[in-house]
Amino acid sequence: MITHRYHGSIRLHFFFKVSGAIALFWGIVWVLHMLFYGRELLPSNYIWVSFLIPAASILEFLVREKRQRSLSGLSKTQIWSITQREILFALVAIFGVIVMSKDDRLSRVFLAAFFCLYSLWVTWMNLVGHRMLHRYLYRRTQSPANTIVLASPREIERDGALHMTSNVPGAEVLGYVSYGAGSVAADPAYPILGDFREIGEICRACHAKLLLALGLDAQPDLVRSLQRLCDSLGMRLIWVDDKRDHFRGNLDAYQSGSSLLLTNWREPLEDPMNRFIKRSFDLVFSSAVAIAILPWLCLSVWLLQRIVSPGPLFYRQKRTGRNGEIFEVYKFRTMHVNDTPGAQAKVGDPRIFPGGRFLRKSSLDEIPQFINVLLGEMSVVGPRPHFVDHDSQFAEIVHDYSVRHFAKPGVTGLAQVKGCRGETDTHLKVRQRVRLDHFYLRNWSLLMDVCIVCDTAIQVIFPPKSAR
């Protein structure tokens, strides 16, 4: 029941949204053709463009996280983020094909009108339309399913049914049936109809069609007895095992056969497709940098070093990479040759030679790390690699510090563009960096990587005060 309703609602909402977008597309073409432009705007020129709208929508839907394919239960912020992605995919698809094909037959007025109205349509469908569809499907066309919630006194006090009804389309909760020892101290939102010994009589009296077993241990005898009861009364049984108390904040579930696998870490980059996309982006971007920027920058830095501080061009140092593996990171040498390689750079550090401060402040000293990216040791975007000695120090400050090693380290990162760069000389700075690194790991997307790269480029031109 739940699986089919869940996936059916997603498909129907997607169908209406795409169908509406196509109707909007051709409606604008017809209006402009009939009322304004006539022969100057031929509908035949727009046929191939109309196929890009569903193609872009399907692609965005496929690359979206599965838990966000249904908009039910998501916050307005999450829905707005998805809406922006959908609009961006359509925008890139249409303008990308126009640029590559050099097709100048499309009206600029049409493109402006379509994307304005398309943005409004997608926003309305995501924020309002899916709720209206849900209400129509399960409140009007069908009689609501009278629902009894079997729960422990603790779950009743927490009003667990309030959290679960949005996940069960068409459920109309009538009240609780208490299971287990203990009493309910607080008044729940739904009435307590009785205890487990009376569940059969309660279900018959209420003409219940659905039984939600919430927060109970799945003992075989209990499951079988409830299933027999529901089968005899023509009811559906849904077993709800809410593990929010076991996992802090970010529970992620995976169904494998009859087994439900749970983890407290969502990792989009463990998806092989996402890793392929990220690696492809790394190779394309780092190859462009290695060909267009690195050669002349190496020559310029080498000449500077010959004048003010002769020595090796590159500075190589051991850093911690993905899964805690040690590798050597490449940087332009910006300090005089010294015997304290593990010490962090400070404001006015005398080890930095003239001109080296500019390289550090503008982050140009990091450019050789694109060699590490090509070698597969780093990524363009990711948590910045730290000194090996500093890793152990920071792990004592933040207990889950080592989680940042789940992904490849990056030439730049979310923490750096948010201002967490320079010397990490306080516990607060360490916690801020780790918090942003963890956010990146949980919420990675290609769009996020592109935005971070753009922010980094701006900071190269206009270095922040925290740059050292």
Reported confidence tier of residue 141, pLDDT bands at 50, 70, 90: very low
Place of tokens 């140009």: 364
Q: Give per-residue pLDDT as tens, 163-179.
A: 665 566 667 788 888 88
Tell which of 107, 140, 173 closes a domain.
140
Mean of pLDDT values over 434-439: 91
**pLDDT attached to residue 176:** 86
Give yes or no: residues 439 and 368 share one domain.
Answer: yes
> What pLDDT is stored for residue 161 in this prediction?
58
Residues 451, 328 share a domain:
yes
Whether residue 168 lies inside any domain: the answer is yes
Number of domains in the chain: 3
pLDDT category at 383 given cuts 50, 70, 90 is very high
Instruction: Work out the average pLDDT over 369-385.
Output: 93
Nearest to 165, CA basis, from 183, 186, 187, 139: 139
The H or E element spanning position 174 is strand 171-178
pLDDT digits (tens, 9 = 90+) for 399-418: 888 888 899 999 999 998 88
Q: Could you tell me if residue 261 is inside a domain? A: no
Q: Kindly give the interhelix angle for 108-124 and 76-101, rounded to the nearest 10 degrees.
A: 160
Alpha carbon 143 to its chain centroid, in Å, reads 36
Question: Tokens for 83?
Answer: 């809406």
Q: What does the pLDDT average to over 198-226? A: 84
When pLDDT is averaged across residues 122-131 and rounded to a whole number, the result is: 89
**83 and 169 belong to one structural domain:** no
Range among 9-23, 67-81, 212-226, 238-252 rated most confident: 9-23
Res. 67: pLDDT tops 80? no
Distance CA 435, CA 443 (A): 12
Same domain, 215 and 282: no
Give the domain-ending residue among 140, 157, 174: 140
Query: Do 351 and 308 touch, CB atoms closer than 8 A?
Result: no
3-state SS class at 41: coil
Residue 250 lies in a domain: no
Note the pLDDT of residue 121: 94
112 and 172 share a domain? no
Q: Which range marks the domain in which residue 361 is found?
A: 272-461
pLDDT given at position 3: 63
Q: Above 60 in pLDDT, residue 295?
A: yes
- Give the bridge partners for 252, in sequence order: 263
Between the alpha carbon of residue 421 and those of residues 45, 128, 360, 361, 384, the distances in Å are: 51, 41, 11, 10, 10
Residues 306 and 413 in one domain: yes
Q: Say whether both 128 and 14 belong to one domain.
A: yes
- Residues 112, 154 within the same domain: no
The region that residue 426 occupies, defined by phi over 0 for left and psi between -120 and 50 for alpha, beta otherwise, is beta
Between 146 and 347, name the one with better pLDDT: 146
Does 221 share its domain with 286?
A: no
Pair 127, 156 in one domain: no
Q: Which residue has the higher pLDDT, 31 or 282?
A: 282
Per cent of the chain over pLDDT 70 is 84
276 occurs within a structural domain: yes
Place of tokens 């701006």: 458
Helix 108-124 vs helix 2-31: angle between axes, to the nearest 10 degrees? Answer: 150
Residue 255 host element (H or E) = strand 252-256
How far apart (Å, rounded) are the C-alpha atoms in residues 160 and 213? 11
Domain presence at residue 450: yes
Angle at 415 between CA 73 and CA 331, to 5 degrees: 145
Query: What pLDDT was estimated at residue 346?
Result: 57
Contact 71, 57 (CB under 8 A): no
Contact (Cβ atoms closer than 8 angstroms) between residue 316 and residue 299? no
Judge if 123 and 225 occupy the same domain. Answer: no
Is the pLDDT score of 319 beyond 60?
yes
Q: 109 in helix, strand or coil?
A: helix
The CATH number covering residue 193 comes to 3.40.50.1980
What does the mean pLDDT of the chain come to?
A: 82
Q: Are 196 and 179 in contact (CB under 8 A)?
A: yes
Q: What is the pLDDT of residue 4?
A: 64
Look at 426 and 339; give whichever has higher pLDDT.
426
In a domain, 253, yes or no: no
The pLDDT of residue 326: 92
178 and 45 part of one domain: no
pLDDT, mean of residues 434-445:
90
- Decide which of 121, 140, 159 is a domain's last residue: 140
Residue 387 is given by DSSP the state B
What proportion of the chain, given as a percentage, has pLDDT over 90?
20
- Using the predicted structure, report yes or no on whether residue 204 has a pLDDT greater than 80: yes
CA dist., res. 360 & res. 459, Å (int): 12
Please indicate, yes or no, if residue 371 is contained in any of the structural domains: yes
pLDDT digits (tens, 9 = 90+) for 94-117: 888 877 777 677 778 888 888 999
Lowest-pLDDT range, 28-42, 58-72, 90-104, 297-311? 28-42
- Predicted confidence at residue 257, as pLDDT, reads 62
Residue 158, domain member (yes or no): yes
